[in-house]
Amino acid sequence: MATNTYEVIIIGGSYAGLSAAMALGRSLRKVLLIDSGKPCNRFTPYAHNFLTQDGIPPSQIAQKAKAQVQQYPSIDFLTDKAVHAEKSAEGFTLTTENGGAFEAKKLIFATGIRDILPEVPGFAACWGKSIVHCPYCHGYEFKGKKTAILAKAEKALHLLPLIKNLTEEVSLLISDPNEYTDEQLRQLKAHKIPLLTENIKEVVHTDGKMTTLLFEDGSSQAFDALYAALPFEQHSHMPEALGCQLNELGYLEIEHTQKTTVEGVYACGDNSSMMRALSNAVYTGNVAGAMINMELAQEQFLIA
């Protein structure tokens, strides 16, 4: 093989990408892992709900994971940003922001998603710290605390029982009460859930620790935590450019093997699953790596 030719290129070097790389490295596959060094969980001080790593900073977990993957000599690492991929006779060609050009038989996208944060002062500073997305990842740390939920009706009603299990002080931020049915509103009233209909003007905080929400009508309320179900977009649009389909929720459409709708292209982690957790990223990355190795082994066996 030429220097810039690989069996597999992995785009994204956080938990999912590293997990895929380990499975492939242990199968002696020649792999290039490209990562720009900006994981989506870089705003979160501690990872939780992941066995053996509970309460550890995400960056430390990633560093340890990378050090272990680097022990497999068939894996190369490149700090760069992949910007374009297209089909070729042998599989795929890929170029990077810094002018790198590479070829591979298979691609794995472990590129994650990008949250679209509202342009509210203080919101970004609190994201991942006291404004969070998941009660399994963050809820225990805010048990018994005064908490708000910012989400569309369906998502809010999904989160509400989970969060109410952790604290009795829960309020819903509702910009449009018409999203809720009369029966849903009756249920919220029966559970004595406060409904706040004003939009947030500012999040008052100290080093990302929320203290108060200021509203557009001039009112304010003290809160310790806010669960926000935000809109998102794919962090990389290369899969779509290759023809990979998205599902109705905006995630990459995959089979149980992590294969996308394009032959030879796999996806793992947050870009293809609403189960946004470190454990799921590691699991789906491992599956993607194993399935690609099986596919390559079968192709080689048939050629022989």
Please spell the DSSP secondary structure of 112-160, one letter per residue: -EEE-----TTHHHHBTTTEES-HHHHGGGGTTS-EEEES-HHHHHHHH
Furthest C-alpha separation in the chain: 74
Report the distance separating Cα 236 and Cα 109, nearest Å: 9
Neighbours of 303 (CB within 10 A): 6
Common-topology check for domains 5-114+231-303 and 117-228: yes
Give 122's Cβ-side CA count (13 Å radius).
20
pLDDT digit string (tens) for 31-80?
A: 999 999 877 777 788 888 899 999 899 999 999 999 999 999 999 999 99
Which residue's entry shows tokens 């050090």? 67
How far is CA 153 from each of CA 118, 149, 164, 177, rounded to the nearest angstrom? 18, 10, 16, 9
| Per CATH, domain 117-228 is 3.30.70.2500 | no
Residue type for position 302: L
Q: What is the pTM of this model?
A: 0.93
Which is nearest to 260 in space by CA: 282, 236, 279, 227? 236
d(CA 230, CA 47): 20
User: Would you give per-residue pLDDT tens digits along the chain (304 residues)?
Assistant: 446 999 999 999 999 999 999 999 999 999 999 999 877 777 788 888 899 999 899 999 999 999 999 999 999 999 999 999 999 998 999 999 999 999 999 999 999 999 999 999 999 999 999 999 999 999 999 999 999 999 999 999 999 999 999 999 999 999 788 889 999 999 999 999 999 999 999 999 999 999 999 999 999 999 999 999 999 999 999 999 999 999 999 999 999 999 999 999 999 999 999 998 999 999 999 999 999 999 999 998 886 5
Write out the two tokens for 269.
């982690």
d(CA 112, CA 281): 9
CATH superfamily of 5-114+231-303: FAD/NAD(P)-binding domain (3.50.50.60)
Angle of the 278-303 helix axis to the 15-25 helix axis, nearest 10: 30
For the chain, give the number of residues. 304
Model confidence over 154-180: pLDDT tens digits? 999 999 999 999 999 999 999 788 889
